[in-house]
Chains A and B, each alone.
Chain A
Amino acid sequence: MKKYVSDISFCVGLALVSIMLLVLCVSFFWLPCDPEAMSGLLKLKPPSPEHWLGTDQFGRDIASRIMKGIQISFLIGAIVVAAGGVIGVLLGACSGYFGGWVDSVIMKVIDAQMAFPGVLLALMLIAVFGNGIGNTILALSIMSIPRFVRISRSGFLRLREADFVRAEKVRGASAPRIMFIHILPNLMSELAATASLTFASAVMSEAGLSYLGLGITPPDPSLGRMLSEAQGTILRAPWYVLIPAGVITVLVMGFNLLGDGIQQVNERR
């Protein structure tokens, strides 16, 4: 743990993520206002004691909507990392541990999947299944699989010849047992870094999709859609643009730095 604390990236990342987590926790119990309450009188008001971050073009409280948006971002990030992680590690484990044709087939498919740049694959799936929270999560989870496959594959490839693995084999342990009870725990710090980076890119992709109007659908609040709504009012309410853009950036940067920090400490060892 001490090694992590001495890394600047890790500390800054942890601080940013902690701030966001704090906001998230508060939002479950208390919101400044009802995020859906509209008011014709309070359109695009600048920040004030009643509305800390001002109001949007429907007179809704921006602070409350941002807090709701953070909930959605964390929800999507967490599910995407969990789902993509489980599937990715399973595939990567088989690929790295068994090698041979299993490895070639899995890696070829993963390579082909990587050919779809950025959010293109997610867009394709959303076009087929329609948008909304569930489908966005599904699309982003599939998009996040290759990363986990590559990392866990290289880990399993490296450790399958290790002495402790050979000892287990001699003892007659089954392949799944060796893979998930003996090898997997050794890869946890690498996977933690990948999980953090994947979380960041899931948050970023969700915001991007929602910005295009193709991710989260109303009434669910989303940071990305707030940004696209704010863009239309940029001349009258510049703060409205900065707030969602800033929150997305802090979230993404926090998890990126955290992941980088873990990675750097791993490499130094």
Chain B
Amino acid sequence: MIFYLKKAAGLLVTLILVSVITFGVFQILPGNPVYIILGVDADPAQAAALEKALGLDRPMAERYLDWIAGLFRGDLGMSYRYQQPVSELLSSALEVTGSLAVVTLVLTVLIGVPVGIWLAGHSHKKYSVIVSMLSQVSLSVPGFCMAVFLSSVFAVSLRWLPSMGFVSWSDSPVEWLRSLLLPSLSLALGSSSVLIRYVKVSVTNQQKQDYVRTAYSKGLKKTRVMYGHVVRNSLIPVITILGMTAADILGGSIIIENVFSMPGIGRLISVSITSRDLPLLQGLTLYLAVIVVVCNFVVDLIYSVVDPRIRLK
């Protein structure tokens, strides 16, 4: 129980720090945001009025607390550019980024885990070197380079898959998947290479454990030892890096959504920067950061549930 309380306290502190960073960064803004909205040569009286309306004349701590209170009411502020609540913009972009992240995570696990296990079992074979090298290459190709490459081959040249846009699941599940396949794959190739390494190292370590010898001495066959004992134990440490992978995928999606012109959070972020729509950027940034923190927390919890030894501490 103390274990969970400690974890929850850590989560709270991190969340507060994240919100302070997000809030703080936008306070060091050179220049008054009022003039960004109204233009540099705005009437000073009008500027002062807007400043008051936006609450920019009050002390920073007060505005921070107001902002936090707003968050709890689901109010992330108002976008300058779209003249719409940030939360509304966010919820419409959420399906895109959420779909992209989930499909990518599934692809990452589907590629990473089997290849990692296979590599650990065949580490002395010649052809495993080729697979290792391939995973090293796909680790190093930046996601957006991979995206440009994949889209020029499969979308532009072969015309198998759409090169841009997003189709909602409710419109057509098949088209939904087709529109997600290339962006997800460009992200998943990189993140699965990371996963492959972890799985491989973890399985190799577990294979050296004493209980593996016990399993063999019971008369279990090689595959049964592998899948009944080794793999099970190896995947538990791998769970911890899934949180990290989720963060990587979200970070990568910011650029990938722009490559494929998908109307997700990443696209909104880049629009908000070019149009200097700071409330929108602030809301989106906080939202992504909170998701990452919560993901890591959930992964910690899953880990403690799956591994009986952790709960005891």
Q: A-side interface residues toward B, CB under 8 Å? A: 9, 108-109, 111-120, 123-129, 200, 204, 207-208, 211-214, 227, 231, 234-235, 238, 241-242, 245, 248-249, 252-253, 256-257, 260
Interface residues of chain B: helix, strand, loop or mixed (majority): helix
Measured between alpha carbons, how far is A207 from B274 in the docked complex, in Å? 17
Could you tell me the distance in whole angstroms from the C-beta of B123 to the nearest C-beta in chain A? 14
* Choice from B142, B149, B288, B296 contacting A204 with Cβ under 8 Å: B142
Q: Which of B251, B252, B276 contacts A127 (CB 8 A)?
A: B276
Q: Are A113 and B21 interface neighbours, CB within 8 A?
A: yes
Q: Are A112 and B21 in contact (CB under 8 A)?
A: yes
Q: Which of A124, A200, A214, A241 contacts B148 (CB 8 A)?
A: A241
Knowing A116-B288, A231-B148, A241-B148, say if A108 contacts B248 (CB, 8 Å). no
Decide: A249 near B152, CB < 8 A? Known: A118-B254, A214-B273. Answer: no
Q: Count B interface residues, CB 8 Å.
A: 48
1/0 contact trace for B247-266 toward A, CB 8 Å?
Answer: 11011101100110000000
Seed contacts A115-B289, A125-B25, A208-B142; 20 additional CB < 8 Å A-B pairs: A112-B17, A115-B290, A116-B18, A116-B21, A116-B285, A118-B250, A118-B255, A119-B254, A120-B251, A120-B269, A120-B289, A127-B278, A128-B29, A128-B30, A208-B255, A227-B148, A235-B156, A245-B149, A248-B142, A253-B136
Task: Decide if the interface of chain A is mainly helix, strand, loop or mixed.
Answer: helix
With A and B bound together, what is the CA distance between A128 and B28 in angstroms? 8
State whether A118 and B251 are in contact (beta carbons under 8 Å apart), knowing that A112-B18, A124-B285 are contacts in the complex: yes
Residue contacts A-B, CB under 8 angstroms, 27 given: A9-B136, A108-B14, A113-B21, A115-B247, A115-B292, A116-B289, A117-B248, A120-B251, A120-B254, A120-B269, A120-B289, A123-B254, A123-B269, A123-B285, A124-B25, A128-B28, A211-B255, A211-B258, A214-B270, A227-B145, A231-B259, A238-B152, A241-B148, A241-B152, A249-B142, A252-B142, A253-B141
Whether, in the assembled complex, B293 has its beta carbon less than 8 Å from a beta carbon of chain A, the answer is yes
Residues of B within 8 A of A207 (CB): 142, 144-145
Residues of B close to A113: CB separation below 8 A: 21
The 0/1 profile, CB within 8 Å of A marked 1, for residues 123-143 of chain B is 000000000000011011111
B278 contact set on A, CB distance < 8 A: 127
Contact B14 A128 (CB under 8 A): no
Partner of A212, one of B21, B136, B258: B258
CA separation between A180 and B141, bound complex, in Å?
A: 36
B281 at interface, CB cutoff 8 A? yes
CB–CB B255/A119 < 8 A: yes
Whether, in the assembled complex, B207 has its beta carbon less than 8 Å from a beta carbon of chain A, the answer is no
